[in-house]
Chains A and B, each alone.
Chain A
């Protein structure tokens, strides 16, 4: 079968996969960014014990494969009466893990803020929350854009693990096509090209965002 014909016949199957990959990646990336900001806030505002708690959390997720929380949430939550749909379980697992990494990225960027700015913020009477929201977070997010881009690419590729809980994202579709047709090469080459496209798009997005910052 020619390559063009292959794509014509199985295009819709790939599109479904592309859709799920994109939706889970974008959703999880947004969720993870928010969760990462929350973890940073907890670390900065709750003193020694809060910081230790966040440290422990980060270590836990850094030292375990993502597949673990994916399985755990998908298989164990129904037993405690939380039978969530597979996308929700998978998305949540990705958010929990990537949020841990993102909080570390953001924490590193806090050090890029000149100390005298914190004195300036205190001297005009800003409360800690206002300082975080108006002074710390906007700068930290901008300084973190390149690293957040890398993390998002990793997350994008990790969505392929969601095939393990039967979400019909790209990798799952390629596997299904292989099983149906036996044409493993065609099935996976197309998927590889699609991932390449998605990853390049993600990188361009973050590069443009980085350039768009006017104050640097």
Chain B
């Protein structure tokens, strides 16, 4: 499980996250909604330390991530090697296409296992094929990203994240750059992951999809979680005025 406590993050003078508390249980899917600029991406990037944060604590299965407090009370980042090891327990897929264009689809998926986890070639290839089959792209294995549709690229990106055997998957609006007719195939892949009971944090504007796959939905506004509850609570019985306003606009 993941426990986020009092997470704060500023860019210069702009306070983007103002004390986030969030627990994610094993096998739980939490959807993160909120208007543009409220800090959803920043929160995901802090969780896997693509972004440093100012105060607060993130634990994964009890282990404190990213920072250590010295006996003197000073806060220090863990070493780069430590951070790499920790990061491998998480997979992230971004909104923009982010495959490595010069590598085949299979090599994209293999890169992490081969060069970050030092898995043998044969083992990594077997894993890569299995994951690509799972996202329905085994046939495109030796193609290059430029030859794939946006939906297919995002499915490969999911396979690449899964190849690290992560405990949690962070998905940042992974369908919002796609043509509408390609959204379904990517959502299908996410649905198929539910049976694996992998933790997921899903940033999305697709409220219908959030209702369907998420166990809980968190509504983020101005860098804080304003309301958190079951999809029915958040989407059908919202309490916070700004959430009501947000839902009215999105629908």
Chain A interface residues toward B at CB < 8 A = 114, 116-117, 119-128, 130, 134-135, 138-139, 142, 214-216
Contacts and interface: CB of A to CB of B under 8 A. Distances in A.
Given A124-B87, A124-B161, A125-B88, 14 more contacts: A114-B96, A119-B45, A119-B98, A120-B98, A120-B160, A124-B160, A125-B87, A125-B164, A126-B112, A126-B116, A128-B80, A138-B102, A215-B103, A216-B146
B111 A215 contact: no
A130 B164 CA distance: 16
A215 B97 CA distance: 15
Contacts of A121: 100
A130 B117 CA distance: 12
Contact of A134 (B90, B99, B111): B111
A133 to B, nearest CB: 8
B48 interface: yes
B116 A123 contact: no
A122 B87 CA distance: 8
A172 B144 CA distance: 49
Interface in B82-100: 84-85, 87-88, 90-92, 94, 96-100
Contact of A130 (B97, B116, B157): B116
Nearest to B88: A125
B102 A126 contact: no
A75 to B, nearest CB: 45
Contact of B92 (A123, A142, A216): A123
A215 B101 contact: yes
Nearest to B94: A116
Main secondary structure of the interface of A (DSSP, over half): helix
Interface residues of B, number: 34
A120 B146 CA distance: 17
B223 to A, nearest CB: 21
Contacts of A128: 80
Contacts of A142: 102
A7 B87 CA distance: 68
Given A215-B144, A215-B146, A216-B146, A126 B111 contact: yes
Nearest to B112: A124
B144 A124 contact: no
B11 interface: no
Which residue of A127, A215, A216 has the most chain B CB atoms within 10 A of its CB atom?
Answer: A215
Contacts of B94: 116, 119-120
Nearest to A142: B102
B84 to A, nearest CB: 4
B50 interface: yes
Interface string B131-147: 00000000000001110
20 contacts: A114-B98, A116-B97, A117-B98, A117-B100, A120-B99, A120-B100, A120-B157, A123-B48, A124-B160, A125-B84, A125-B85, A126-B111, A126-B116, A127-B81, A128-B80, A134-B100, A134-B103, A139-B100, A215-B145, A215-B146
Contacts of B116: 124-127, 130
B144 A214 contact: yes
A138 B103 CA distance: 9
Most central of B88, B92, B111 by chain A CB within 10 Å? B111
Contacts of A127: 80-81, 84, 115-116
A90 B72 CA distance: 59
B176 to A, nearest CB: 14
Interface string B145-156: 110000000000
A210 to B, nearest CB: 14
A6 B157 CA distance: 66
B84 A123 contact: no
Contact of A139 (B96, B101, B144, B164): B101
